[in-house]
Amino acid sequence: MKITFCCTDTKAEPWLAGLRAALPEALVELWQPGAAPADYAVVWAPPQAFLDEQPQLKALFNIGAGVDALMLLRLPPGAQVVRLDDAGMSVQMAEYVCHAVIRHFREFDGYEADVKQGKWSYRKPRARADFPVGVMGLGVLGERVARALRVFEFPVMGWSRSPKALDDVRCFAGPAQFDDFLAASRVLVNLLPLTPETEGILNRATLSRLKPGGYLINVARGAHLVDEDLIALLDSGQLAGATLDVFRTEPLPAGHPFWTHPKITVTPHTSARTLREESIAQIAGKIATLERGEPIAGIVDPARGY
Ligand code: NDP
Ligand code: OXD
């Protein structure tokens, strides 16, 4: 069995060593143009030339949860696309989102600014009932985030494609319930996959439906957001602020207004990092399962795009 590793912007050596240790019977190689085709591939943003050389591929393991970049490529016929299924990402995402929500709700930025000026000043406590949080996407990450927010007793709403039932989370589903979901939310957390249906879903019309003082946390993909609509809504005072981890172009280009906007917090696509050890264990386990002819979880449905 041959496994080829082809991940842009990733240090290959530790991955190759980890995969070899986990699957000693396999030949594990870094892709070189013209090399013999593989049975399995471990990829992140591979070039089309790599995929075109893999006629017998059984599965492509994406070392991330989002497969949007992969879905734009011409994939080998017969190869299943497998996304990372948590592998240590959901707890990181829960930390990040809870931190962003609490920082905004408790006005910690304001305290920090006061303290920098030597000011010992209190702010009036705010009611968490006035800060309902809407989570777009109730998949592997969104569900964990919704549950984590409930621990802090925020009212939590969730929106997904198919109907869901989560304890203590008010669930909405499908386009017909989207407006009601937005109208019930003040803080909006985006954890949708990027698909043709969800591209640009964070725009002037949708963000304007949030409760007054709306706050956006985008941790999914930059192309979900219409950048200039967000800036306009922040500048007009319709939205109170935003925390953004993902951008249409990454790294965020120098001079982009998000860098310096006083109501925007930027982080460099770091809310839930791929953890190498966990990911190798998951991928190796799934390859072994497939080799035994058994089914695995985390297979992407090309028709849905996630
Ligand atoms: P999942 O595929 O597990 O979940 C996706 C959720 O979105 C599901 O609940 C799905 O509904 C819902 N959904 C999909 N399309 C629609 C739609 N058109 N309308 C309403 N709901 C929809 O994904 P994950 O939770 O694992 O990850 C979500 C995204 O987070 C990834 O695609 C990736 O882009 C991003 N991400 C970002 C990271 C970062 O560091 N910033 C790290 C990891 C991921 P249903 O349940 O009905 O199918
Ligand atoms: C992912 C990501 O999709 O890192 O896993 O964004």
Two tokens, residue 302: 């090309």
Backbone angles phi, psi at 254, to 5 degrees: -55, 140
Flag residues of the chain having pLDDT under 70. none
Q: Give the pLDDT of residue 286.
A: 98
Q: How far apart are CA 301 and CA 168, in angstroms?
A: 29
Q: Positive or negative CA dihedral for 23, 26, 32, 37?
A: negative
Q: Give the pLDDT of residue 10.
A: 95
Q: Give the pLDDT of residue 302.
A: 95
Please report whether residue 306 resides in a domain: no
Atom of ligand 2 nearest to the CA of 67: 3
The preferred substitution site among 135, 160, 177 for testing ligand 1, maximizing ligand atoms within 8 Å of CB, is 160
Residues 218 and 260 in one domain: yes
Please report whether residue 248 resides in a domain: yes
CATH of residue 32: 3.40.50.720
Residues 44 and 16 in one domain: yes
Residues 95 and 146 in one domain: yes
Please report whether residue 79 resides in a domain: yes
Q: Give the pLDDT of residue 21.
A: 98
Please report whether residue 56 resides in a domain: yes
Q: 218: Cβ–Cβ under 8 A, 6 or more apart, which residues? A: 190, 202, 224, 225, 242, 243, 244, 245, 246
Q: Give the pLDDT of residue 204.
A: 98
Residues 79 and 165 in one domain: no
Please report whether residue 97 resides in a domain: yes
Residues 160 and 83 in one domain: no
Residues 41 and 103 in one domain: no
Residues 164 and 245 in one domain: yes
Please report whether residue 297 resides in a domain: no
Q: Give the pLDDT of residue 234.
A: 98
262's torsion region: left (phi>0), alpha (psi -120 to 50) or beta? alpha
Q: Give the pLDDT of residue 191.
A: 99
How many helices, marked H, and strands, marked E, lie in the chain? 10, 12
pTM of the model: 0.98
Domain housing 78:
2-87+274-291
As for how many domains the chain has, the answer is 2
Residues 110 and 222 in one domain: yes
Q: Give the pLDDT of residue 246.
A: 98
Ligand 1 centre to CA of 166 (Å) is: 16
**Chain-wide mean pLDDT for the chain?**
98
Q: Give the pLDDT of residue 19.
A: 98
Ligand 1 centre to CA of 138 (Å) is: 7
CA 251 and chain centroid, separation: 16
